Structure formats: structure tokens, C-alpha cells
């Protein structure tokens, strides 16, 4: 299954992850460093893990993001202060794939392929077209 197919399928599970203010040993988490914020948080506290995924911005832009999950309860929260709340979903693939992708992906709406339906009266396109008459119309 292609990356875009997997992203589309996973995006339906997106939800807004609540923000939780935390103070790291290095200070206040930075808005443009979600990966660093979560790595520091997880390193400083036992029982938490990083969850890598995507924020859905403006309905069509996927922005790489990382949130925290408490291992025991599976409750997720965001330690990165964001300007706008946006739905988040987990990346549907391995960590190596996620890390190799760019920071943003455009995922415009695509309803999928339409099934090809043929009318039984429709002619076969592989057949030769009928010869046109040389007479003038109305003759």
C-alpha cells in the first residue's frame, strides 16, 4: 500500500491532542522543536513514550509532529506549545520511514478512483469508427 494511501486511511482517526504545560530541565519547550521537546520529556520521566505522527493543517497539509503517551494509561498529550490546535494522527509506518520524510506533506482531497462503468449499448473503443457518409446533411 502506498504512503499516501496509508496516510489517508490513518487520517480519519485524527483527533486534537490536549496541550499540557511542562517545564523541562532545559527550560520551556519550544514551539518549533516538537521532537526535541518530547525526547527531553521522555528522558526526564519514566513511563512515557514518544508518538510520531502528523498534524492536519488547513485540511490538506500534514505537518510532522511528536506527542507524549503515558505507557500505562495510553493517554496522549502535547508538550509543544502550538499557535493553533490541529488534529493529530499516528504515522502509519515504521520510525525509519517517518524520519526520512520531509516536515510537511501536501495531501489534497482525493476521493479515490471512480469505478469504470460501461453502458451495454456503448461501443467498444477498440473497434474502428464507422465510416462517415460523404453526402451532405439533409440529402
Q: For the chain, what is the mean pLDDT?
A: 86
d(CA 134, CA 5): 52
- Among residues of the chain, what percentage have pLDDT more than 70? 77
Mean pLDDT of 107-124: 58
What is the arithmetic mean of pLDDT over 27-42? 97
pLDDT beyond 60 at 57: yes
pLDDT of residue 126: 46
- Distance between CA atoms of 8 and 11, rounded to whole angstroms? 5
CA distances from 105 to 52, 56, 61, 108 (A): 15, 10, 6, 9
- The model's pTM is 0.76
User: pLDDT tens across 66-111, in order?
Assistant: 999 999 999 999 999 998 889 999 999 999 999 999 999 998 665 5
- Would strands 76-77 and 87-90 be described as parallel, antiparallel, or unpaired? unpaired
Amino acid at each position: 500500500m502506498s504512503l499516501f494511501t496509508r496516510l489517508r486511511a490513518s487520517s480519519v482517526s485524527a483527533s486534537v491532542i490536549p496541550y499540557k504545560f511542562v517545564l523541562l530541565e532545559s527550560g520551556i519547550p519550544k514551539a518549533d522543536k516538537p521532537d526535541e521537546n518530547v525526547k527531553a520529556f521522555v528522558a526526564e520521566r519514566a513511563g512515557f513514550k514518544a508518538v510520531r505522527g502528523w498534524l492536519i493543517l488547513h485540511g490538506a497539509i500534514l505537518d510532522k509532529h511528536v506527542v507524549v503517551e503515558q505507557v500505562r494509561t495510553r493517554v496522549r498529550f502535547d508538550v509543544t506549545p502550538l499557535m493553533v490546535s490541529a488534529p493529530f494522527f499516528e504515522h502509519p509506518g515504521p520510525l525509519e520511514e517517518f524520519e526520512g520524510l520531509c516536515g510537511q506533506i501536501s495531501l489534497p482531497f482525493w476521493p479515490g478512483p471512480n469505478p469504470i462503468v460501461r453502458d451495454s449499448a456503448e461501443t467498444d473503443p477498440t473497434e474502428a469508427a464507422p465510416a462517415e457518409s460523404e453526402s451532405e446533411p439533409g440529402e
